[in-house]
Structure formats: structure tokens, C-alpha cells
Amino acid sequence: MKIHEYQAKEIFVQYGIPINPGYLCHNIDDAIWAYEKLDSDLVVVKAQVHTGGRGKAGGVKLAKDTIEMRNHTANILGMDIKGYIVDRVLLAKAVDIENEYYVSFVIDRNTKSALLMLSKEGGVDIEEVAHKTPDKIHKIAIDPAVGMPDYLARQAAFLLFDDIMQVRQAASIFQKLYKLFIETDASLAEINPLILTPDKKVVAIDAKMTFDDNALYRQKKISELFEPTEEEKKEQKAKSKGFSYVHLGGDIGCMVNGAGLAMATMDMIKLYGGTPSNFLDIGGSSNPTKVIEAMKLLLSDKDVKVVLINIFGGITRCDDVARGLLEAFKQIDTDTPIVIRLTGTNEVEGRELLKGSKFHLAETMGEATRKAVELAQ
């Protein structure tokens, strides 16, 4: 789960990490009020959207007076940044920058620990630094039993700073950021850039955090900040109905019983040159209501051109599934072609029941996926 910069900065403040103060604004009036409150001529107007690279997209602008501030606020509100429409900005006190650094904690699966990443190449696209000059990024795996004691934090800070006064400030920030990272079940806590001001203060002027979705049940405050995208709303709705659904964006809707078979189905679609629109495991049941719900979910996706139903009858019998499907499709009116592959217990009886229906029947997975890909094209 992602949160906005202003929300991440609020958490930073709770943990004592120095930031440049600011106010959230939904419109120009808010911005005028915030400008007064900040009591600084130079401010920065920052789009608040769930994506990085706002600066490059024109969503971060410095202003030196009220007129500029108003203009930037007016321009940035409503802006489209990588498909996200800006509905609020952060008006923050601008700081003078002597140097920009990159700092983050992520989860590293190889070392099974938090990983502190540091670079003197801050402010820019870190992916680009990692790609072109990987040696400019330092990585320190944090032993969870040891955490971030003073010596380790200072050792890390010396990778970015030479002056001991600056090292102390940075070390303290790393320790606080680590504490916050662990305590909030974050999967990313990033400061890009962490800056050094001309009067030698180390300050976080950007803040990015994402959280482990599976830990949100014990992070009440953070889970309240969840702002689902349209796709996430759909996924949530599916979850509440007992499905396991992930939107993928292709044009072949998949309805499968069992997660393993669902994965294999997606692989097969790819193999035959198609693109699955989703992962959907409807579980082991032939219940028509479930099939109806699942079909509604798939057909609500405008990109879906074909639906591929792939059922393996184990304990569930194929003839029951076939009856369930026939029952369900009495209530669903759709022109979308539907390919069904039934196999397993009572498959002959199952297929017999579906003969003469509008479905495209297939016996093997290969046959079914080929058919679905063909129809989608």
C-alpha cells in the first residue's frame, strides 16, 4: 500500500526526522492560507500522487512570491502525472540545497533482512544510477537481531558525509528511519533527496513509503490512509466475495478453480501469444451464484474480449459444474465468447450437458487456450 508524501512526512515528524514543514492544499484558497502560515517567501508546490518522478513531470515547482505560488498551484492541481490526476498539493517551505543524497530501507529477500541503501547521487532517478553506475549505491543489510546501533549508523553516515557534525545528524536520521520502517511494517521507506543545506543541516525534503498489505490488519492508523485505485477497489470487492482476484490488464478473462491451475492457465495464454486480463481463483465449487459473481467481475472489465473458464473436477464433479454454469448463464446476458474446458471427475457427463450451448468447448488446456487466444484476436 502506498501513501502520499505529506502523510509519510507526518510519520517522519512523529519519529523525529527533520523535514521542511508544509501544508496540504486542495485549492488556491488553501494555498494562500498555507503561504501566510509558512511565512517564507520561497516555497515549493508539490503534487501529491501515488507515483514518483513528479519533479520531471512538472509536478514540483519553486515559487518566490504569491503570484508564482498561485500560478504553480493552479497549474499543478488537475495535472495528469502518469495517469494520476492531482487533486491536492503540498505547499512546503523551500530550502536551499548544497547537496542531495539518496537514502532508503527496503526488504531484501536474499539476506532476509532490511537493507539500507545509500548514495551520493541523490535527487535523480535512482533506478538510472543503479543501472548505469551501480557502484555508486551502497547497500547495508541490517541484522534484525542487532538493528541499527550507533556505530553502524555512523559507519553508514560516513559513506555520504565527511564532517562529523553532518555524520551525526545523518546517523540519527538512519536510526529513526529504521525504527519507523520496522514498527510500521513498511516495505519501503525512502528519502530522495535527503539534503544538506548551506548552513549544514541535514533534512528530508521528500518522503516515500509503501507498506506490506499483509500487515495492515495490525497497522490500523496506516490502513486508514488507503486510497484504492479503481483496480484495487475491484480487487477488494472480489476479496470480500471470497475470490482471489488480481487485475493484469490483458484481454482474456480467466475463471479457474485453484490457484495453481490459474497460474498455469495464465502461462498457457502467454505461451500461445495472448494476454490474460486477470488472475481469478473461484475456489473449489460449482455454486452458480459464485460463477455469476465471477462472470460479472470479469465482464465489468471493458478490455475483456473472451472469457476462458478452466475447471479441473477433483472433489467437485464436472457435471455439477456444468449444471452450475448453465444455471448461471441463464442470468447473464453477454455477447462475449466463452471457452470452457472441463476435465476430471465426470467430465464426459459434464461436457455432454454443455453440448448445444453457446459455449466453445475444449477438452485439453492447450485446445482451450489456443481457442481463447484466437477469439481474442
Q: Does 205 bind ligand GDP (CB under 6 A)?
A: yes
Residue number with CB closer to ligand GDP (69 or 322): 69
Window 191-220: residues binding Mn ion (CB under 5 A)? 192, 206
Indicate if 121 belongs to the active site: no
Give me the least distance between CB of 61 and ligand GDP, in Å please. 9
The verdict on 193 binding ligand GDP (CB under 6 A) reads yes
User: Which one of Mn ion, ligand GDP, none is in contact with 54 (Cβ closer than 5 to 8 A by kind)?
Assistant: ligand GDP
Q: Which does 60 bind (CB under 5 to 8 A by kind): Mn ion, ligand GDP, none?
A: ligand GDP
Which has the closest alpha carbon to 247: 306, 290, 308, 301? Answer: 301
- Note whether 95 binds ligand GDP by CB under 6 A: yes
259 binds, among ligand GDP, Mn ion, none (CB under 5 to 8 A by kind): none
For residue 97, the minimal CB distance to ligand GDP (Å) is 5
CB of 55 to Mn ion, least distance (A): 7
Binders of ligand GDP among 48-77, rule CB under 6 A?
52-55, 60, 62
Q: Does residue 190 touch ligand GDP according to CB under 6 A?
A: no
Q: Is 245 a catalytic residue?
A: no
* Backbone torsions φ then ψ of 32, nearest 5 degrees: -65, -45
Query: 123 contacts which partner out of ligand GDP, Mn ion, none, CB within 5 to 8 A by kind?
Result: ligand GDP
Our CB check for ligand GDP shows the closer of 206 and 320 to be 206
Residue (126 or 148) nearer to ligand GDP, CB: 126
Shortest gap between Cβ of 21 and ligand GDP (angstroms)? 11
- Residue 182 sits at φ, ψ, to 5 deg, of -70, -50
Considering 23, 35, 101, 102, which one is annotated as catalytic? Answer: 102
Stretch that binds ligand GDP, among 94-102, 126-134, 301-309, 348-356 (CB under 6 A): 94-102
Position 97 contacts ligand GDP (CB under 6 A)? yes
Contact set for ligand GDP, span 274-303 (CB under 6 A) = none
Residues 121-150 that bind ligand GDP (CB under 6 A): 123
Please state, in angstroms and rounded to a whole number, the distance separating the CA atoms of residues 241 and 328: 16
Q: Which residue is catalytic, options 100, 121, 190, 293?
A: 190
SS3 for the chain is CECCHHHHHHHHHHCCCCECCEEEECCHHHHHHHHHHHCCCCEEEEECCCCCCCCCCCCEEEECCHHHHHHHHHHHCCCEECCEECCCEEEEECCCCCEEEEEEEEEECCCCEEEEEEECCCCCCHHHHHHHCHHHEEEEEECCCCCCCHHHHHHHHCCCCCCHHHHHHHHHHHHHHHHHHHHCCEEEEEEEEEEECCCCCEEECCCEEEECHHHHHHCHHHHCCCCCCHHHHHHHHHHHCCCEEEECCCCEEEEECCHHHHHHHHHHHHHCCCCECEEEECCCCCCHHHHHHHHHHHHCCCCCCEEEEEEEECCCCHHHHHHHHHHHHHCCCCCCCEEEEEEECCHHHHHHHHCCCCCEEECCHHHHHHHHHHHHC
How far apart are CB 183 and ligand GDP at their closest, in Å? Answer: 24
Which does residue 17 bind out of ligand GDP, Mn ion, none, counting CB within 5 to 8 angstroms by kind?
none
User: Side by side, which strands form the sheet with 43-47?
Assistant: 22-25, 89-93, 43-47, 60-63
Is residue 121 a contact point for Mn ion (CB under 5 A)?
no
Please give the residues from 177 up to 196 whose contact with Mn ion meets the rule CB under 5 A: 192
- Give the active site residues: 102, 190
- Which stretches of the chain bind ligand GDP, using CB under 6 A? 20, 44, 46, 52-55, 60, 62, 94-95, 97, 100, 123, 192-193, 205-206
